[in-house]
Amino acid sequence: MRISVPELVSLDEILPSEPLLMMGAGPVPIPNQVGRANSIVINHLGETMGKIIEQVKSMSRYVFQTQSKWILGVAGPGSAAMEMAITNLIWENTKVLSICNGFFSGRLAEMATRVGADVTRYEIPEGLAADPDSVKAYIEKYRPEVITLVQGETSNTVCNKQLRQIAEIAQAYGCYIIVDAVCTLSTMPLNMDEWKIDAVITGGQKGLSSIPGVSLIAFSERAHHRIHSRPKPPAQWCLDAKLAEGFWHHNAYHYTAPVSGILAIHEALALICNETLEARFERHLRCSKALQHGIEALGLKLFVQEASRLNSVIGINVPNGIAQKALCAHISNRYRVEISGSFGLDIVRIGQMGEQSRAHHLFRTLHAFGCAIRDLGGDIDLPTGMAELERGLQRF
Ligand SMILES: *Cc1c(COP(=O)(O)O)cnc(C)c1O
């Protein structure tokens, strides 16, 4: 039997005629410069690529705030970078403490379990951040070799604000610490060397405002040494950090690198370097605080208390009588603004990562959000919300 040509609809017909403003939990809008770079294909080996890789590494060192040589790129989502950290630093029977306060920190624990590690989970009640004293108590009780956690839990909008203290405790007990900063890197401070973190994971499509599918990871010297003294290589050939070192540090073939995506991330990093981290953190903080303030002025409630609230993604309780799915669908269809629902919680999430943190996007998003709730029968004070957003942008 022959398989016939399928009936096709053109991409133009599939894609919305007016692009959606991507204000959810990622992917986020990309700057034109990143989009242009992403359309170029060059040889994955050789002098031109070598220069680009050198710059990606040196810019990454600035963004991660590390002097460590061991920056690696990963052809894959943020989860692939998570898996690279886990599968290279952890193996059978490694004692791991996974600090779990959301979906992504749970994913790190699951990955560690799958490589056969002896995983203890410090489960934190919904909406709360990890507490350094509890981490210390867990370390004393279980004596882990490796600790995993997430800086900003995109899933429920909790931020582990005491990451620095936790990392210092981990260091004092000789533990390696792996931090997922997919959502937060370049949106809020993370000083890898100063805080003594052994592996920092990031993805393209969130804080960095690049494309999904190419990710970065940084290993400390100590972590690098552990990887080189493993009892045996990891099972995952593509994610083997020692093999990836061949490409990222010796201009040699490992697998064909995602050249266009690397060019895109080069441009995303260059934009961060031009802006400077200080200015970028300030922009994110001001935009996020102003938007939170505007949302509250509409008459809505934020999901997480300020003490553990993430600024990079804002979680909002869905008003009574409105269905989360209907709200997300309506704001998208009617106002061309995309926001996110959530895995299992009755909240919607609005991102404040990279290009999302621009005043004109905030006004359009808050207006669309308020209108969508009103259209669905919710009771909100839209003029006050919009005025307070403006006031917040001036004040914060
Ligand atoms: C999105 C996200 C991930 C996973 O990234 P993917 O690119 O979807 O694999 C991991 N951790 C955090 C904190 C995230 O926000």
Place of tokens 């805080």: 195
Helix, strand, coil % in the chain, rounded to nearest 5: 45, 15, 40
Q: Whose CA is nearest to atom 2 of ligand 1?
A: 182
Band (pLDDT 50/70/90 cuts) for residue 396 is confident
- Please give the average per-residue pLDDT across 338-366, as a whole number: 97
Atom of ligand 1 nearest to the CA of 213: 7
Predicted local confidence at residue 14, as pLDDT: 95
E strands in the chain: 21-22, 71-75, 95-100, 118-123, 146-150, 152-153, 158-159, 176-180, 199-202, 214-219, 313-317, 337-338, 347-351
pLDDT tens for residues 102-118?
999 999 999 999 999 99
- Please give the average per-residue pLDDT across 251-268, as a whole number: 97
Q: Whose CA is nearest to atom 5 of ligand 1?
A: 78
349 annotated binding-site participant:
yes
Distance of CA 340 to the CA centre of its chain: 15
Band (pLDDT 50/70/90 cuts) for residue 221 is very high
Please list every protein residue whose CB sits less than 6 Å from any atom of ligand 1.
Answer: 26, 77-79, 104, 150, 154, 180, 182-183, 203, 206, 212
Query: Which domains, from first to last, does the chain contain?
Result: 11-27+276-395 (3.90.1150.10), 32-274 (3.40.640.10)
Pocket test for ligand 1, best of 100, 104, 209 (most atoms within 8 A of CB): 104
- Please give the average per-residue pLDDT across 205-228, as a whole number: 98
- Please give the average per-residue pLDDT across 206-218, as a whole number: 98
Predicted local confidence at residue 70, as pLDDT: 98
How much distance in Å is there from the Cα of 272 to the middle of ligand 1? 20
How much distance in Å is there from the Cα of 107 to the middle of ligand 1? 10
**pTM of whole model > 0.95?**
yes
pLDDT tens for residues 29-48?
999 999 999 999 999 999 99
- Please give the average per-residue pLDDT across 55-77, as a whole number: 98
How much distance in Å is there from the Cα of 215 to the middle of ligand 1? 10
Predicted local confidence at residue 126, as pLDDT: 94
